[in-house]
A and B are shown apart, each in its own frame.
Chain A
């Protein structure tokens, strides 16, 4: 499994765009990149997943450069309710392994 590195914490203000970058230098050809969001005392929630270039959904965008050694989760115009821990995961979604590894994630604090 490719190891990921992301900032421990980030601060932002309401209405700003937040970009959280994740480093995964050892990503393999079959690996996909997935981001999860976790609120206090709740289970993580799937946000977005991608393989290369850019993926966008109603919640966020995911930017992946050509070398795929990093990825950036972009949250447009954050609100107080976006305060949460965000996890970056890299896993072989076509392989036989049956579990994901969650690191400590990035704790995002949005202030008014």
Chain B
């Protein structure tokens, strides 16, 4: 079955640590996205990539970094510069770099700072 896999489901980070969230898709989608969701809030865009080796900042990119070396993979690194990283992180993909056919989301990674 095609889909998006996010791992791990739960992640704990110590103060000052960098952590990387994995996102893999086998849908052959061109575009991939990272969103952050805080309790009771909507989704806020962190980064997105429409093609391999290219990505753009979203609304809240500070303290985050991404790479897109393969079409299937779009990992997100939460750096120590992100002062309030505790949140639910969602990865999504879409066909052709445009949301024409809707987004497919992963099941999310819940990151907690300890």
- CB within 8 Å of B: which residues of A? 34, 36, 41-46, 49, 87, 91, 93-105
The answer to whether A91 touches B99 (Cβ under 8 A) is yes
The answer to whether B97 touches A93 (Cβ under 8 A) is no
Q: Determine if B50 is an interface residue (Cβ-Cβ < 8 Å).
A: yes
The answer to whether A104 touches B40 (Cβ under 8 A) is yes
Chain A residue nearest to B45 (CB atoms) is: A99
Q: If A87-B42, A93-B99, A104-B40 touch, does A98 touch B105 (CB 8 Å cutoff)?
A: no
- CB within 8 Å of A: which residues of B? 4, 31, 33, 35, 40-43, 45, 48, 50, 56, 58, 88, 90-92, 97-100, 102-108, 110
The answer to whether A46 touches B102 (Cβ under 8 A) is yes
User: 13 other contacts beyond A41-B88, A43-B92, A104-B42, with CB at 8 A cut-off?
Assistant: A34-B99, A36-B102, A41-B107, A42-B105, A42-B108, A43-B90, A46-B104, A93-B99, A95-B98, A98-B48, A99-B99, A100-B103, A102-B42
Chain A residue nearest to B100 (CB atoms) is: A93
Chain A residue nearest to B51 (CB atoms) is: A98
Q: Could you tell me the dominant secondary structure of chain A's interface residues?
A: loop
Rounded to whole angstroms, the CA-CA distance of A81 and B13 in the bound complex is 33
Rounded to whole angstroms, the CA-CA distance of A43 and B56 in the bound complex is 22
Rounded to whole angstroms, the CA-CA distance of A105 and B97 in the bound complex is 24
Q: Which residues of B have CB within 8 Å of A98?
A: 31, 33, 48, 50, 56, 97-99
Contact of A34 among B50, B91, B102 (CB under 8 A): B102
Q: Which residues of B have CB within 8 Å of A102?
A: 35, 42-43
Q: Which residues of B have CB within 8 Å of A93?
A: 98-100
Q: If A43-B105, A49-B102 touch, does A99 touch B58 (CB 8 Å cutoff)?
A: yes
Rounded to whole angstroms, the CA-CA distance of A43 and B92 in the bound complex is 8
- Distance in angstroms from A11 CB to nearest chain B CB is 17
